[in-house]
A and B are shown apart, each in its own frame.
Chain A
Amino acid sequence: MIRALILLLALCLPSVAQAQKVVADLSQRNVEITANFDGSDILIYGAIKGGPEDADFGPLDVIIAIKGPNDAVTVRKKSRRFGIWVNTDAVKVARAPSFYAVASTGPLDEVLSTQEDIRFQVSMERAIYAVGDAEHDAEGTRAFTDALIRLRSKNNLYQQLDGSIRLFDQALFSTTIDLPANLVEGVYPMRIFLTRDGQVVSRLATFIDVRKVGLERWIYDLAHEKPLIYGILSLIIAISAGWLASAVFRYIRF
């Protein structure tokens, strides 16, 4: 009886029972920041497994989102006060990713419904979390978060890559995401969504590990773990460089 019921259910809701699955891999999971680090291209490729091939169902779409470590920022706005331009207004953004890239097979607002976006927080606007305060309503805060997106997009830190994923035969997909040179160290969670008619059918989560190595690692650790020694060392370098230049110039009698 129960078995029959399940079978019936499976027939009624094929997309649930015979859910398609997304599998994927990256060209590299570890990004090493060395002294001459100049950005890195990550190739993401994968396949869609199983599921009906019926024409009754809408086409599949793939969305890939990579996010850098969150930090708190303050967005300031200048306006004219007594004839001069100064910062007069500011909004605190409690959580803004240092890097965010969202790639998709088509325009993001078409391949992902608003409800699903709210649920999974995929679009750039939803990845940023700003608290409104007494002076700013939702509309007022929005202007500031939009400015944040605009400014960081200019530096390639925020990338909206609509239509950049190539999907072959509703089964294979691939894309390249360009990590810029000014990356912050940390774990970069990556999420892949498979959608149909704006609804998420399957998803996959993984991560990219970005870390400093070699000299970069050593300087960073020293600065944070032994700040006094680091500060004194910086001064010693400065003083000896100053002395060296003076000695060299005296020697060559310029």
Chain B
Amino acid sequence: MQIYLPIAEVSVNAFLLLGLGGLVGILSGMFGVGGGFLMTPLLFFIGIPPAVAVATEANQIVASSFSGVLAHLRRKTVDLKMGTVLLVGGLAGAALGVQLFAALREMGQVDLLVKLCYVVFLGIIGGLMFFESLKAIRRAKGAQTAPARKKHGLVHALPLKMKFRTSGLYISVIPPLIVGVFVGILAAIMGVGGGFIMVPAMIYLLGMPTKVVVGTSLFQIIFVTGFTTLMHATTNYTVDMALAVLLLVGGVVGAQIGTRIGARLQAEQLRILLSIMVLAVCFKLALDLLIMPSELYSIGTGGGH
């Protein structure tokens, strides 16, 4: 069934979009990522103009992460306090990132820089996570002596300590704020929600339990993408309501299913699956950069460079 999208001004298959939304929703509910990194290239591929794809997807992510957060709230796996701290940092970071992006664009070569950073970054995160989870799984299978180690590193030495009850942490607010700012910057530059950078950062840098991480990540994604949607709607008029509705019907259902799948998995299994996904995205991006494209030219809108 073909549907003409009023803002994107293209005709697309409605069932394809429903399926796409559902798939991304499942990942979202399972791993606490927005899914923009997957949705953007898919929407480009079916012919949605890039500006509309990015803006509309933000709207779709609001829906699927809200659906996911409600499911996590019932399981009490959302650290609202930590989420708020990360969000404050994230918004500051996003504002900074927008400025940085404009400055980079002035210098040219922003495309090259962003893509290289992305690949390197995803490669490191995905690789580290993969080996860590693999080790954790082996350890669990081998001796049952899983040592309950409490590290007292830099995170514990900083001032402004705060109790994060749901995560079972008593740490300074400075590291979560810094993580938030950093992810916010990256999100603004790369045009993604930053979920799959946020999730590993919460697990490894802040030491939060994997189960709590997913819901908390979704919680802060709602606000970031909600804000993005409003910004795009009022400045660029690029949010396509018809496209968003088609995507989010699949997305909200997918998020519920994803949450249930996630709840049945062990923390190590969840981490290893996430790392495989991150590595797959990294690998795909790297291939795009290394293999000669079949079409060298592309059309962008607007007169700007």
B81 at the interface (CB under 8 A from A): no
- Least Cβ–Cβ distance between A131 and chain B, in angstroms: 10
B47: A residues at CB distance < 8 A: 155, 182
Q: Which of B226, B298, B301, B305 makes the CB contact (< 8 A) with A71?
A: B301
B59 at the interface (CB under 8 A from A): yes
Residue from B6, B109, B237 whose CB has the most chain A CB atoms within 10 Å: B6
A217: B residues at CB distance < 8 A: 6
Interface 9-residue window, one of A7-15, A100-108, A218-226 = A218-226
**Bound form: Cα–Cα A212–B9 in Å:** 10
Interface 9-residue window, one of B84-92, B110-118, B153-161 = B110-118
A35: B residues at CB distance < 8 A: 3-4, 242
Let me know if A219 and B242 touch, CB within 8 A.
Answer: yes
Q: Which of B11, B232, B237, B293 makes the CB contact (< 8 A) with A38?
A: B11
A27: B residues at CB distance < 8 A: none
A84-B112, A242-B70, A249-B256 known; A227-B63 Cβ under 8 A: no
- Nearest neighbor of B61 in chain A, beta-carbon distance: A238
A76-B297, A151-B299, A234-B244 known; A183-B9 Cβ under 8 A: yes
Let me know if A237 and B241 touch, CB within 8 A.
Answer: yes
A57 at the interface (CB under 8 A from B): no
Residues of B111-140 contacting chain A, CB below 8 A: 111-112, 115-116
A84-B289, A238-B66 known; A230-B115 Cβ under 8 A: no
Let me know if B296 and A227 touch, CB within 8 A.
Answer: no
Let me know if A246 and B71 touch, CB within 8 A.
Answer: yes
Residues of B256-305 contacting chain A, CB below 8 A: 256-257, 260, 288-293, 295-305
**Bound form: Cα–Cα A155–B298 in Å:** 13
The count of residues in chain B whose C-beta lies closer than 8 Å to any C-beta of chain A is: 65
Let me know if A181 and B2 touch, CB within 8 A.
Answer: yes
**Bound form: Cα–Cα A227–B233 in Å:** 6
- Nearest neighbor of B239 in chain A, beta-carbon distance: A234
Let me know if A242 and B302 touch, CB within 8 A.
Answer: no
Annotate A77-88 by CB proximity to B: 1 below 8 A, 0 otherwise. 111111111110
A119 at the interface (CB under 8 A from B): no
**Bound form: Cα–Cα A234–B63 in Å:** 10
- Least Cβ–Cβ distance between B48 and chain A, in angstroms: 10
B2: A residues at CB distance < 8 A: 36-38, 181
Let me know if A37 and B4 touch, CB within 8 A.
Answer: yes
B64 at the interface (CB under 8 A from A): yes
**Bound form: Cα–Cα A72–B304 in Å:** 9
A77: B residues at CB distance < 8 A: 296-297
B292: A residues at CB distance < 8 A: 80, 85
**Bound form: Cα–Cα A127–B11 in Å:** 25
- Least Cβ–Cβ distance between A214 and chain B, in angstroms: 10
**Bound form: Cα–Cα A144–B109 in Å:** 20
B188 at the interface (CB under 8 A from A): no
Let me know if A85 and B290 touch, CB within 8 A.
Answer: yes
Annotate B229-243 by CB proximity to A: 1 below 8 A, 0 otherwise. 110111001010110
A85-B289, A85-B292, A234-B244 known; A242-B64 Cβ under 8 A: yes
Q: What are 15 A-B contacts with C-beta separation under 8 Å?
A: A36-B1, A71-B301, A75-B299, A86-B112, A151-B299, A181-B2, A181-B11, A182-B9, A215-B242, A223-B237, A223-B241, A228-B230, A235-B62, A237-B241, A245-B252
The 9 closest A-B pairs by CB, nearest first: A231-B233, A242-B66, A181-B11, A147-B297, A245-B252, A238-B63, A242-B67, A246-B70, A84-B289
Known: A78-B297, A230-B241, A241-B67. 17 other contacts (CB 8 A): A35-B4, A74-B299, A78-B296, A85-B289, A85-B293, A151-B295, A181-B4, A183-B9, A219-B6, A234-B244, A235-B226, A237-B241, A241-B252, A242-B70, A242-B255, A245-B67, A246-B70
